[in-house]
Structure 1
Amino acid sequence: MLTIAEFLALPAVRDAAPEEAVAPASPETSVRWVHSSEIYEIGPLLSAGDLLLTTGLGLAGVDAGARRHWVRELAGRGVAAVAVELGRSLPDLPGELLDEARRRGLPLYVLRQVVPFIRVCREANAVILDADARRIRMVDAVLADVHAALAAGGGTPGLVTAAAAVTGGPVALVTRSGRVVAAAGVRDERATDRLLRRPAAAAPVRVWDVDWGAVALGAGSATDSAGLDLLAPRLARVAAVAVGQSGAGSAGDPAAALLADLLTDTVPGTRELLLRAGLADFHPAPGAAVVGLAASAPDPRPVLAGWARAAHGEGLELLAGRVRGEALGLVAVPGSPDRTDPVGWLTGLLPATGTVTTVGPAVPLAEAGHSLRQAHAALPTATLLGCGTVPTRELTLPQLFAGLDDRALRRLVEDALAPLTAWDAATGSDLVHTLAVHLRAGGSRTRTAAALHVHRQSLYQRLARIETLLGRPVDDPASHEQLVVATTAAQLLHARDRSDGRPRGR
């Protein structure tokens, strides 16, 4: 486009001896097109950024109020400026015209010499068209290089690199949550952050009717802001194609496809993960912890619906789907003072659906597959133990012991707990279970009593009996590890007996 300063510097305009009556907000104000007209009703025919040349013939026969209305209408249309040639129609600039232009902030110029308006329009509009042609050529060059990069297998990194090379400025492709998938022309992360906060131009990237993200363009040496505005939406459309061809399969169920590939560890890297997560409408905020979920149920749909309700109620990003007959998911938990333990917080949030659900460790988005695989791997053990919703961190030992046969597990139990198992078998009590709960409660008698639903005095009696039978305090650090291992082994044996329908034995 042409600026007002550049317009005033044109030879034809200089020959007209222009004088500034009302200054523009900036001499760099853009002029979209230059028109000449003498009709009073010209306002509705103009657009924002147009510059009007007139001799004032249409204003000569109207009163002061009509002239003010004429100015107001032009200012309301966003006209860039008005240049009035003084002469036979208007020997002098009417005071009401000047006053209203000042009131409305409409740039106004007086032309003291007669120059054919056709000459002014020809010179000005030729500059505008030439600049537009240069921008169009720049856009064509960018798109040609981008298509070549994509055809060569460059993917989204090739796309932004080609665009940055032609424009001479930074280019970034980001997901809706602001995670950078690819960037070029930026020196470091701080420069990238500045680009994302204040891009010279940007356009949304939509894939399969999903608001996936955006392209952001910074100021470049080879074009101006108008050129970047022209390029951004066209580049975004090409980026949408590149994102859609990123290996996500089809538009059918990108969530389930991504979860299946994460489960088999076949997503090649973070960039691919970001691309496909956006296609599945999963946009974790930068810094959010991602937690994997897995559940086994005859019908996963109620489980998935429960997860969705819980996530929606807390404003959490959720990626969930049915994979191989099981419910799998990823939840993004933003940092918060009440979420210092995202896994524990999320475990308490998830609904009790009557199914076994495992909650993986909290990890960055790049390691989402690890958390999902941990949750899925823990499902058989959690199901055997009859857990409800349980973090995988509470299943570490049971999972390690799952490969041991019953004989090996019984040896671990008998070596440490033989007096307790004998007492339980003889009296029908459950001292082994009491000890297991007490150890999991960190030795807290209050938490143990609450977990067992017994009075504290009853618990004290049980713990005293356990210590008498074992011959040592249950809180003795020297024997803590052995007791934890043995009670875990006992828990697994009991679960196997229950699963096989066998009577519980020693």
Structure 2
Amino acid sequence: MSVSLGDILAHPVLAAADPVVHSPGAMAEHPVRWVHSSEVLDIAPLLRGGELLLCGGITLASATAEKRAAYVRELAQRGIAALAVETGGVLPEIPADMLEAAKEHGLAVVELRKVVPFVGVMQAINSILVSESVGHLQQADAATRAMAAELAHGASLDQILGVLAGIISSAVKLVSPWGVALGSAVPAGWQEKDDGGSGQDAQDGRGEAAGRTAITVDIPVRGVLMGRLEVDVPDGVDTGLARVAGDRAVDILGLALLQHMPPGLHAQAGAELMRAVLTAAPAWRLEQLAPGAGFPADTPAVVAAIHAASPQRLRRVIESFLSSSRIPSAAYLDDAELVVMIALPPADPAGGRRKLLASLEGVDGDHDAAIAVGPPAAGVAEAAWSLAEARRALDVRQIRRRNASPRRQHPSRGLVVIDAEDTAVESLALTGIEASARAAFVSRHLKALLDHDAQRQSQLLETLQVWLDSGCNTAQSARELHLERQSMHHRLQRIFELCGGDPRGTGRLAALHLAARMAVLP
């Protein structure tokens, strides 16, 4: 059986900390995949989900309420099992704002009221989890070997799925990306749920209802999403084994799908075209592959680079949106990056791109993702360039977020659409100007201002960037920086003194703006 949060909290190494679960509704039976310790508040992107995260509370004690709320939100989005915070000393108790955020986002928060060595906790608990994982892997590998044997003997999808269902004691179903049932199987003695339905939660792989846990595993074949494995795990059955076995069965089920329903020529051509774009293949190869994927060689297009917590889920949403709008497209999932090439109307590519950006911002669903849309390519031969610019826009966004002050930090949750043309200056600076030349240019124009910020912990550079990006609109800049207009005027006067006077109406304005944009680049 999986090791639950309740089991871990009851283990002597953690029971000695006198743990108290604060978050209402926290599930003691929630499985824990690993125990990790960190004081870093930006740890969420490095986690995979299912962790019990131990925190000594030192950084939380000095963090702002906004930073603590973002910390809780990002951990909840990552799907960790629980956050355990040690109280006492610099952090006498868990801040109320953290507990409120945890309640809002459904994160279990455990207060450790006595000091215990985190190293000892991790060694003791993780050794148990490793033993559990080894057992799961051995059983999962046995399942995949048996499924492979069935496949080799020409078994049907139902028969292959029957092997998996029997080993994990759960109902399994293989469906197409559009929800059409392709095969299913149940273990001996299976009893159907009273409600008889799987619901939206099951489709997202998060559902828990009527004593059942729903798990969803995507089945890609040659970069094309061919199906989804839906596992219905009853109460009392090892959910951890079901998850591991489902993940290990991906390759076998992909081969089975390929054997029973090979992808159409159009899907294969689209995947091959996108692989060529990703590898920056020669122009003649792209033009050769494009017609089979529905892209005449001279079709104007853009390429979007998408980073998401659930890329396959977002892929289904975007492909459905583009299909319903009758917009030719081709997509490919490369590790955690989703790349989509989207055709533009030949008569008005610029207008079509503007409409596309606006439409993507309104895509249905709550997605934790960033979509960077590259500049328009005159034809598919320029697709790799459009992709490179889109990726660079994502990099620039990360750089800007790292350098932004806390009050201008925007929540990462939700879908963010980035226009690569908005970062054209940074892209040119990164690709066409050496780092030493950039640093020298920035120093010539902004040295006094940068020195002032460094010495006085001021934020004049950020103020100048916002003001210049707004078209020198003082009122708009004050709103974005959450400043009174008088405070904004005082800051601008100080900036002008340090930068040689008011740049408006002079040739220095463009140079100052370029230096301000390059100042945050590495």
Structure 1 length-normalised TM: 0.40
